[in-house]
Every structure is written in C-alpha cells, then in structure tokens.
Amino acid sequence: MQQENPLNTVNFNDESINIREEIEKYAYHWKWFVLAIMVALTTAFLFLRYAPNTYEVSTTILIDEENSGGLASELSAFEDLGLLGGTQTTLDNEIELLKSRTLMQEVIEDLGVNVTYFNKGRVKTSELFYQNLPIKINFFSKDSLFYLKDTMFTVKLKSETNFSLLNITGELVSEHVFGESIYSTISDITITPATNHKLKGDEEIIVKITPLKNVVDRYRNAIQIQPVNKNASVIRLSLNDQLRLKAQVILNRLVYQYNKDAVEDKSTVAKNTNEFINQRLEIINKDLLAVESNAETFKSENKLTDISSEAGLNLASKSEFEKRIVELGTQLKLIAYVGEYLEINSEDLIPANLGLPQGALEASTLKYNELLLERNRILKSSSKLNPVIVNLSDQITQLKESISQSLVNLESSLTISLNQVMQQQSRLNSKIAAVPKQEREYRDIQRQQQIIEALYLYLLEKREENAITLAVTLPNAKVIDAAYGSDTPVAPKRKIIYLAALLLGVIVPFGVLYILFLLDNKVHSRKDVEAIVKAPYLGDIPKSVSANKVVVSGNDRNSVAESFRLLRTNINFMLSKAKDQGKLIFLTSTLAGEGKTFVSINLAAALALSNKKVLLMGADIRKPKISEYLNIASEKGLTHFLMDDSVTIKEVITSVKEGFDLVNSGAIPPNPSELLMNGRFEEALAYGKEHYDYVIVDTAPVNIVTDTLLLGQQADLFIYVIRANFLDKRLLEVPKLLYSEKRLPNMAVLVNDTNFERGYGYGYGYGYGYGEATVKKAWWKRK
C-alpha cells in the first residue's frame, strides 16, 4: 500500500512562473552575457571609429508670392506698367521646380559632382571635395559620352613633380609630370598640384566617375524640401552628406540656379514685348517719313504758308472732332497691329499694356501671357503629354480665340464711333465753303501725320517702360539663411549604436539560451520531477566532484556527504511504520547510468555510520558496477549463490567496513531472469532481514529489463533514482506509471547529480557550518 508523502512540505507543482528561478537560469550563464556585451560594444566602437560621419546641411529661402508684401509692395508704383505680372506662385509648384531633374542636372554639371575623389588610407578610404584636394584634375572633353561613363582610376603621387596613373585593378598604366596633357579613353586631362596643399610621396587619390543620371537621381532623392510653416512662404532645403562643404556648395548652387531660371522666365515677356515694339517703331518710322514728305510736297506745289483767319474760326469748332478722330484712328491702328501679330506669332507672348480702351481685353492678354509662361516653365521638367500641359494648352487656345474675337468686336465698335465723328465733321465741313480746297487736302495730310506721330511717340514711351521692367526683374526666392551644417554629425548616431550594441549583447545570448532551454528536454530539478511524478520526494544528491565513488565517511562534511545524511533521515521517516526487523530498500532507475549504484553504496555507508548493520546486495547482475566502484575483487557473488545450492549466503558476503557488508553481483550469467526467479534470491533477502538492520538492493533499470519488477514486491521502500541533466523528461512517464499503478511498493523519488549553482535545486545548504571542503574554480567560472 502506498503511503502519503510525509516529506513534501512545500508544493513545487503550481503552474505559476517563478520569476526568480527563471532569472537564475540565465544568470548562471552571466559570463556569456558579459562576453557578448564586450564583443558587441567593441564591434560598435570599431564601426564608429572607421565609419564615415554624415552631416546635415540646410538652407531656408523665402518664396516671393504676389501680394505677399516685401518687394512686391515696393514695386506697386509700376503696377500700371505690368511689372508685377499676374501669376500666383504657389509653394507646391516651386517645390516641384526645386526637385526637378533638369535643375539638379544643371547643378551637377556645373559643379562636376559626378566626379568624386577619395584619399586611400591604411584602414579606410575617405572622400575629398575638390577644395581639399592635393591636386587639381581638369577634364577637357565633357561631352554627352563623358556623362555616361562609369569608371575609376588612381593617381599615385610619387614626388612634387611626378605621379603615376593606376587602373581600376591597381596596375600601373603610365607615369607623368604635373601639367602634362594626358590622352585617355575617358577624356583629355591635365593634373596640376593644388596651391594650398603640400604634396606627400606615395599618397594615392582615387578618382571615381559616376554616370550623371545616377548622381542626379541620388541627390534628388537625398534633398528634403518642405515648407517651414503652413502659413509662411518659407521653404527649408536640407541635404545629408559625408562632406559638409560639398552639401553646402550643392544647396547654394541649387538655389542660385533656381533663381537664375526664374529671372529668365520672368524676363521672357519683357524681351518679347521689346522685340515687338522695335519692329513696330521701324515700320511706323517709315510711314511717318512718307507722310512728312507728302506734306512738304503739297505745300511746295500749292505755295501754302498760313491758314486764313476765316478758316481758323470755322476750324476751331472742328478741332475737337479731329482730336477724337485721331484718338479713334490710333486705337484702330493698334488693334490692326495686334491682330496682325496674333496671326504671325501664334506661340509667342502678346504685348501687354498697349493702351487699348477695353479693360477685359487687357485682362485676357495678361492671363494669356501668364498661362503661356506657366506652360513653358513646366515643359522644362515635363512632356507635352502631361495632363497639366494639355489643360494649359487648351486654356491658351481658348483665351487666344477670345482675344481675337474681342479685337474684332472692339474694332467694330471703334469703327462705328469713328464714322459717327466723321459724319459730324462732314456736316461742319459744309459750313466751311470758303475754305480753299488746298487747305482741306493739307489738313488730311496733317491729320495722317499726327496719327502716325502719336503712335510713334506712344511706342517709344512703352519701350522705355519695358526697359524698366527688364531692369527690375527679381528672382523668385530670397535666401534667408545660406547653406549651413553643424559640426555634430547626424549619422552614425553614437549613443543609439552603443545602446543597440548593448541590447544586442544581451538579446543574442538570451535568445541562444532561450532556444537551448526551449529545446532542452532533460530533467534538471525537483520541480521537473514533481510536475509529472507524484511520488514522495526523498531529496537531491548534488554533483560529486570527487574521483572517489564512496563520498560518505565519518570526517566528510561536503555537500554530497551531507545530502546522503539527509537522505538517511528521510528514509527513516519513510520507514517509520515498518517492522523492527531488517528493512529492505530497493533502488532502481529508468536507464543505466543514472547513478543508482553510486547512491546505493553511499546510502549504505551513511546508514552504517549511524551504528546500523547494513547489507548491500548487487542485484543488477546484468551490468554489475559495485565491485568496480568499491575496488573489491569480484570472486564469489550473488550469481554464484543463485546458481549453486551448495553455496551459502555467508560465503558470498564480503565486509567492506565496520557495519557495512556487501554481496557482490558476481559473474554475469547467461540467464539472469531465471536465476533471480529460482527462489534462492528470497533466501538471501530473508537472511539479510534477519541479521541486518538494513538490506539495500541495487537492482537493474526498470525500462530495460523486468528483473526489478519481479523482485521488488518484498521491498519496504523503493527508491527510484533519477539523474538530473541526463534523463529525458518524456521518460518520466515510466516512474509516473509505476507509481500510479502501484507496481513498486512504497515508491519514493531521489534526484541524483543535481547542480545547485545553476539554480535548479532549492538550496538545502548541504555542509553549512561543517567546514566542508571548498572546490577551487577558475576565475571565469566564479559568480
């Protein structure tokens, strides 16, 4: 009958996680964490030592929008001259222009950034900007093919006058002197020493030529452009690069080129208007000369000197009509000139502010010029198939048709007005019957002369106004802060990298250990056993570091010896209800090699030290180990007693020490199961119970043979030995089944070879205060 467990005073089988135990599992391997952290931090240090720094450079510009104050308000006096334009500049459009491939390509070509230079060092190669180069390399053939090349060569300085050229593989190509013209497949080049740099021998400069397209794409993606504030017209441009000076030069040149293109775009209207005015002046000048020549001829032929006073009185009232006719004629001429210009120049800008009377026509002309300029500017970085371009083209066509129709309507209106004025003049002419015919003809010539002269003076005035417009054309962007970069690099971030290295040094060993623990299916502690096997628990036997198999003696106070003394006490508790005669204690295990023979010998020694007579029987006759462990010659043993009825049990008993006798296993028989079942083994047990206080029987493993199950029913206590860090947890089902089915009487569990330092034990403190022997360890194994 199974007894209740009087030893399990603490329940280790709860399902809650013992945080301290989990921490101790990992803390035992602290040296691996320390090593991993040191390796990670060292790697981070070396990486930061040789990794190139990246600096952030930024510049801010103010985009000049219409009616946004600033310079626009200062030019308000010239508004009637058309100086301010009518285009509402938006930040989104300007940002897209700053990001355009065309603009960036112009910057890269001007600065020659597609050619990079590196100083070859012993450990790392660092990039140089052209201002810090010890030499100056001039490429003379920068054609379209040059910008497609992807190659590299090395300039090796030999002295202050000589250098060598090496190819991409480091092989010598040629040797030259500074200033010599060099022909190569890349381009014709000359290399001269820099004036502000002292040349050093054996210094190597690596020259790398990258295709222009790749460089443009890289910097377009690298430059960040965004508004500083949603309510402001300020844009911030930033660029990260390993060379701070290089990034500053690129950003400054980008803003410069952007302003330059903007000024050119704004000047297009003024230039076209100036060209139109000059063409008109040239034609009108010829007409004016012709009219004046006709007037001179008419006066000469008719010998006219002055107008009579009588004609003057009549003509006084007529002057107002003539003034009106001149004005209407001038406007009709302008309409004719503009209409003719529209027919000839279909894709050019329409001259603005020519003084036409209809305000809607002037507004349409300004809108037409704005849309045409916007389309031309977008076409620089896009194609004609762009939906925006198509939309603008449609609007331009509609506006042009509208302007043409407006000109026709205005011409009709002015013609009607002119006819009415001329009719009134005709009625007045009837009153001037006395005026000679010559005077009337002369007035006609004079009127033509005045019309052409007025138009000529008007165009001269507009040409001066247009010159002012061209002179005061302002760029789109005002630089608030020039490109500037801090001395502190933005990458690599040292604190973050060191923190990442520290975390990596913790996570990597933790992850490895976690996987090892996850894949570990060995029994390590009492908790592992009690989670499956509900049998009484006798205790733990620590791992023995002694070469001697008998660790229990009268003077030993180490933890292993103390554990056997505690085991002896626990066994007495388990056998407290047993009879006073000799008690039978059987020991077995699941597999061979779990230390049941070691436990049997030392348990017998521990019991003998308590002044008890102990008989140790080696019943594992298949694989006997007792004689080897005790270093006793194996002559006669249990197998001889079982095989030969003439042999008595006394003849096979050997005295090991006082109170400790041994029945050795003897020779290995061919039929161990039959020998154990022939009845002689029971006689040996009966003799032991009669003459000894304890009979300890070392049996075979239960998972290998059935000998133990056949003999174990006579046991007063069955100790099931489980070796820590050896037995697979899945094999715990064997003792669990044996205990639940009560196939082993009074079964109790003992865990052997435990390692308390790893946190798998529960700290019994074996040997505390007894002056136990201290095992010296190497410094790297100490905690």
What DSSP assignment string belongs to 267-304?
HHHHHHHHHHHHHHHHHHHHHHHHHHHHHHHHHHHHT-
- The torsion angle over the Cα atoms of residues 298, 303, 306 and 308, rounded to 10 degrees, is -100
Contact 285, 428 (CB under 8 A): no
> Of 89, 112, 464, 70, which is closest to residue 259 (Cα–Cα)?
89
Q: What is residue 403's three-state secondary structure?
A: helix
DSSP 77: G
Q: What is residue 308's three-state secondary structure?
A: coil
The pLDDT assigned to 606 comes to 92
Tokens representing 218 are 């890289």
DSSP 201: T
The pLDDT assigned to 567 comes to 92
Asked if the bond preceding 492 is cis, omega within 30° of 0, the reply is: yes
Q: Which residue has the higher pLDDT, 90 or 757?
A: 90
Mean pLDDT of 694-702: 92
Residue 771 region by backbone torsions, left for phi larger than 0, else alpha for psi between -120 and 50, else beta: left
Name the band, by pLDDT with cuts 50, 70 and 90, for residue 200: confident
Distance CA 574, CA 375 (A): 102
Mean pLDDT of 337-346: 73
- How far is CA 42 from its chain centroid? 22
Contact 280, 337 (CB under 8 A): yes
Q: Are strands 125-128 and 115-120 parallel, antiparallel or unpaired?
A: antiparallel
Q: Is the Cα torsion angle 563, 569, 571, 574 positive or negative in sign? A: negative
Tokens representing 743 are 């196939």
DSSP state letters, 734-760: HHHHHHHTT-STTEEEEEEEE-GGGT-
Query: Partners of 653 in the beta sheet?
Result: 663
DSSP state letters, 436-478: -HHHHHHHHHHHHHHHHHHHHHHHHHHHHHHHHHHHT---SEE
The pLDDT assigned to 502 comes to 94
C-alpha R_g of the chain? 56
Mean pLDDT of 374-378: 80
Give whichever of 63-72, 550-559, 664-673 has the largest mean pLDDT. 664-673
Helix (H) / strand (E) element for 660: namely: strand 660-663
The pLDDT assigned to 317 comes to 61
> Of 750, 746, 707, 745, which is closest to residue 727 (Cα–Cα)?
750
Lowest mean pLDDT among 585-594, 662-671, 764-773: 764-773
pLDDT at 156 over 50: yes
The pLDDT assigned to 311 comes to 58
CB neighbour list of residue 646: distance below 8 Å, 6 or more residues apart: none
Distance CA 467, CA 473 (A): 10
Q: Are strands 614-618 and 660-663 parallel, antiparallel or unpaired?
A: parallel
**pLDDT digit string (tens) for 35-48?**
999 999 999 999 98
Give whichever of 369-373, 698-702, 762-766 has the largest mean pLDDT. 698-702
pLDDT at 543 over 70: yes
> Of 629, 460, 652, 659, which is closest to residue 544 (Cα–Cα)?
629
Mean pLDDT of 541-560: 82
Lowest mean pLDDT among 350-354, 394-398, 636-640: 350-354
Distance CA 319, CA 762 (A): 128
**pLDDT digit string (tens) for 485-496?**
888 888 888 999
Tokens representing 719 are 């100790």
Count of residues making up the chain: 783
The pLDDT assigned to 588 comes to 93
Distance CA 538, CA 298 (A): 148
The pLDDT assigned to 778 comes to 52
> Of 751, 777, 769, which is closest to residue 557 (Cα–Cα)?
769
Distance CA 734, CA 375 (A): 88
> Of 31, 149, 236, which is closest to residue 757 (Cα–Cα)?
31
pLDDT at 90 over 80: no
**pLDDT digit string (tens) for 214-225?**
999 999 999 999
The pLDDT assigned to 40 comes to 95
Strands (DSSP E) contained in 158-257 are 162-166, 172-177, 181-182, 189-193, 204-209, 224-227, 234-241
Q: Is the Cα torsion angle 570, 576, 578, 580 positive or negative in sign? A: positive
Mean pLDDT of 624-643: 85
Distance CA 328, CA 670 (A): 142
Q: Which residue has the higher pLDDT, 759 or 723?
A: 723
Which parts of 79-158 fold into alpha helices (H)? Answer: 91-98, 101-111
Contact 564, 552 (CB under 8 A): yes
Distance CA 627, CA 620 (A): 12
> Of 646, 645, 683, 678, which is closest to residue 663 (Cα–Cα)?
683
The pLDDT assigned to 599 comes to 94
Distance CA 189, CA 207 (A): 12
Mean pLDDT of 52-63: 92
Distance CA 326, CA 354 (A): 16
Q: What is residue 162's three-state secondary structure?
A: strand
Determine how many CB atoms are found less than 10 A away from the CB of residue 140: 10
Query: Partners of 145 in the beta sheet?
Result: none
Q: Is the Cα torsion angle 364, 366, 369, 372 positive or negative in sign? A: negative
Distance CA 375, CA 371 (A): 6
Lowest mean pLDDT among 14-18, 661-665, 741-745: 14-18
DSSP 620: -
**pLDDT digit string (tens) for 242-289?**
899 999 999 999 999 999 888 887 777 777 788 888 888 888 888 888
Mean pLDDT score across all residues of the chain: 81
Q: Are strands 717-723 and 747-754 parallel, antiparallel or unpaired?
A: parallel
pLDDT at 440 over 50: yes
Mean pLDDT of 662-672: 86
CB neighbour list of residue 84: distance below 8 Å, 6 or more residues apart: 66, 72, 75, 76, 78
Q: Which residue has the higher pLDDT, 454 or 697?
A: 697
